[in-house]
A and B are shown apart, each in its own frame.
Chain A
Amino acid sequence: MKTADLISALAADTAPVKPVRVTTRLAAACLAGALATGVVLTAWLGLRPLGEAVQTSAFWMKAGYTLALALAGFLLVSRLARPGGRPGRVLTIVLLAVAVMAGLSAIELMRAGPGAMRPLMMGQSASVCSLRILALSIPAYFGAIFVLRRLAPTRLALTGAAAGLLAGGVGASVYGLYCGETAATFVVIWYTLGITASTALGALIGSRLLRW
């Protein structure tokens, strides 16, 4: 086909289009992903007694950390969803969240003294925590991919990583409704590991799934 013919064919097909609202679509996908994850969690592990949990600072510390990472992922995905999108300064949110959490953990470890380090690090569920978070990140990840496939990301691995970060943050936030670990040290190690795994896998899978 001649390029000139192609152009006239395309020009003939110019129905007015509404600009897409990236953040609205992505927020809807996240919400749906979070709800699905909540259902999975309830059926799989159950919830912990939330009435007591919400009165503890540990609950909000964990929720704040994981939601901050989810928010960073959300902003990254919505920037990268369009051609030429760049991560910009959103990455500072990630660094800041991890730094604050690491700081809290350092204070906790210093107060506890050398003998009590191990329980703070390992808690009751160190061997399963990261893997569970990774598993719970799956619904939100595919929600984000579903939205992104209708948009036009041009840096696929990076966009996939951002979707993985978003999904890891959502998955970990939902997991916080079950997980009774209260130590900042535990969270900064095992939660971060789970979300990092989700980000890395997201990049790996995303660079294939997002092609257009």
Chain B
Amino acid sequence: MVAGLDGDGAAHGQLLAALGGYLRAHFRRKLGAGSADVEDLVQETLIAIHVKRAVYDRAQPFTPWAYAIARYKLLDHYRRTGARRQVPLDEVGDLFAEENPEEGAVRRDVDKLLSRLPARQQRLMRDVKLAGFSMEEAAERSGMSVSAAKVSVHRGMKRLESEVGDEDR
């Protein structure tokens, strides 16, 4: 992104092409794969990112910035078509979610964050929050009682939230 801001057209093109892939997957998930609006939204978002690139603050992370524009364009689309109103705010990770093969960056962030927790808690949280086990199953896998597992997951989330929060500031 920064190279593109300084006038490097090739780097900018690569960025937009990569983003196009993410955005297509993202909007497909929101609108349904067959929707004719998906490609329009991809293009609109890319244009917006291009036109507004001077508004990007180089000190800030790029992913939330691009996601916010994608979300805005999606809301704009809903407003025009009058279909659906609410898009939850807390889906930042969603843009780069599992089904996309190129989702390395966010996955790495999650791993890095989780690695700050003790091993047992880490495994428990992976099972419950990422792998989709129920609390009971996860507790059994870790050899804990269900209530202990609940407490542990809850504390883990709190701690991650506070650490992420600190970085935001």
Contact = CB atoms under 8 A, between A and B. Distances in A.
A19 B5 CA distance: 8
A6 B9 contact: no
Given A84-B60, A84-B65, A212-B48, 6 more contacts: A1-B43, A7-B20, A11-B12, A14-B9, A151-B55, A152-B55
Q: Pick the most buried of B8, B17, B72: most chain A CB atoms within 10 A of its CB.
A: B72
A83 B68 contact: yes
Contact of B9 (A4, A11, A211): A11
The 4 closest A-B pairs by CB, nearest first: A11-B13, A84-B68, A16-B7, A83-B68
26 contacts: A7-B13, A7-B16, A7-B20, A10-B13, A11-B9, A11-B12, A11-B13, A13-B50, A14-B7, A16-B5, A16-B6, A17-B53, A17-B54, A81-B55, A82-B55, A82-B56, A82-B65, A83-B68, A83-B69, A84-B64, A84-B65, A84-B67, A152-B52, A152-B69, A154-B68, A154-B72
B12 to A, nearest CB: 5
Interface of A: 1, 3-4, 6-8, 10-20, 81-85, 151-152, 154, 211-212
Contacts of A85: 68
Contacts of A211: 76
Nearest to B18: A7
Contacts of B42: 3
Contacts of B47: 6, 10
A67 B62 CA distance: 34
Chain B interface main SS type: helix
A151 B65 CA distance: 13
Nearest to A1: B43
Nearest to A82: B55
Contact of A14 (B12, B20, B52, B58): B12
B57 interface: yes
Interface range for B: 35 or more
Contacts of B52: 83, 151-152
Given A14-B7, A18-B54, A82-B55, A3 B13 contact: no
B71 interface: yes
B39 interface: yes
Contacts of A19: 5, 54, 56-58
Nearest to A151: B55
Nearest to B15: A11
A85 B56 CA distance: 11
A18 B6 CA distance: 8
Given A10-B47, A19-B57, A83 B16 contact: no
B168 to A, nearest CB: 8
A4 B9 CA distance: 14
Nearest to B16: A7
Contacts of B53: 17
Contacts of B76: 211
A11 B16 contact: yes
